[in-house]
Every structure is written in C-alpha cells, then in structure tokens.
C-alpha cells in the first residue's frame, strides 16, 4: 500500500533526518541520545550522532558504559542503583543500543578537535562504530537538512 502523505522508505528528504550532538558523557544522557536515535531510525529517518567533548570519551575502547549518572551519582552508588533497576525493567545495554543503531544504518561521527584537545588518537577509539572523523562543517551541513536536531 502506498500512502502519498507519508515518507517512502529510505528517501533522504528534509523531513526525514535527525542529527544529535552527543556532548555529554553521562550514562543517562547517552541512553536518551541512543534511544531517540534508534526510535528515529525505526520510524524511517536518517540519523547522525555527533560525538564531541565528554560524549567522545565514551567512544574510547571499553568506555561506553563507564559514564556517571548526571544527577545523584553519589560516587557511583546512584548509578549502581539505577543500573540495577534498569536491569529489572529489561532496559538493554548502551552497547546493544549502539549495535542496533549501526545495524539500522545510523552514522556515528567523531569530533576531531576534541581528539586534539584531549589527546585522543584514532587507535584509542572504537573504529568499529565510527563512520567518520569530522569538524563543525559536517555537522552544520547535515543539521540544516534535518527536522530534528538535539544537543544532549
């Protein structure tokens, strides 16, 4: 069934793109970014995630799940309690969300200026996840064609 009012699958139109800046490295904010991103992909949008500053730290090898809670972390106790509750409710891991994001065709972009400032080398990062290393121009170029842009 073709519905003329809706987007045709895979079409890269303006109404069909979301760009999200992942500035925070906090665990809960990473969940927000990835859940929104995966939801947008599932609804047929194109999605790019721009990892910068503290967000980019989470793309270091072995660091994806290592972020603190943005509030009430209490030296990790708050995070431990939230994680326990999440497990009970059946929330999947950030790693799983990231794998799903890639499988559904999402793009992961790494900010190269952050890499310079923080002394991060390409070999420190998860190259299995990163689609491209880029700067602000790439972000603006994609954001101006997007109907959803978020800074998390």
Partner 1 sequence: MANIKVDCVGETCPVPLVETRKALRKAEEGDIVEVIGTHPASKKEIPMAVKSLGLELIDTQEEGGVWRIRIRR
Q: Which residues bind partner 1 (CB under 8 A)?
A: 1-3, 6-9, 35, 38-39, 41-44, 89-92, 97, 100, 103-104
Tokens 């927000």, located at residue: 32
**Nearest residue (CB) to partner 1, 2 versus 123:** 2
Among the listed residues 128, 109, 114, 99, the one whose alpha carbon sits nearest the alpha carbon of residue 41:
99
- Report the C-alpha gap between 78 and 70 in whole angstroms: 10
By C-beta, is 9 or 123 nearer to partner 1? 9
- In the bound complex, what is the minimum distance in angstroms from residue 91's beta carbon to partner 1? 6
CA R_g for the chain = 16
Residue 65 or 127 having the CB closest to partner 1: 65
Indicate the residue among 37 and 120 with the shorter CB distance to partner 1.
37
Starting at the edge strand found earlier in the chain, the sheet holding 107-111 runs 132-134, 107-111, 46-51, 17-22, 148-151
What whole-number distance in Å separates Cα of residue 124 and Cα of residue 109?
15
Distance CA(141)–CA(17), nearest Å, equals: 12
Asked if 100 contacts 38 with a C-beta cutoff of 8 angstroms, the reply is yes
**Smallest distance, partner 1 to C-beta of residue 124, A:** 29
CB of 79 to partner 1, least distance (A): 19
State the nearest-atom distance from the C-beta of 99 to partner 1, in Å: 10
| Least distance between partner 1 and beta carbon 38 (Å) | 5
Toward partner 1, which CB reaches closer, 41 or 111? 41
């Amino acid at each position: 069934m073709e519905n003329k009012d809706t987007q045709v699958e895979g079409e890269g139109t303006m109404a069909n793109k979301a760009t999200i800046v992942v500035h925070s490295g906090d665990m809960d904010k990473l969940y927000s970014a990835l859940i929104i991103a995966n939801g947008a992909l599932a609804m047929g949008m194109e999605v790019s995630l721009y990892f910068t500053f503290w967000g980019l730290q989470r793309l270091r090898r072995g660091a994806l799940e290592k972020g603190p809670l943005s509030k009430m972390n209490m030296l990790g106790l708050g995070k431990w309690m939230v994680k326990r509750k999440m497990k009970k409710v059946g929330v999947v891991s950030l790693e799983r969300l990231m794998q799903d994001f890639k499988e559904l065709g999402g793009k992961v972009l790494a900010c190269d200026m952050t890499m310079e400032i923080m002394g991060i080398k390409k070999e420190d990062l998860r190259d299995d996840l990163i689609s491209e290393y880029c700067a602000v121009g790439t972000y603006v170029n994609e954001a101006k064609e997007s109907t959803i842009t978020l800074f998390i």
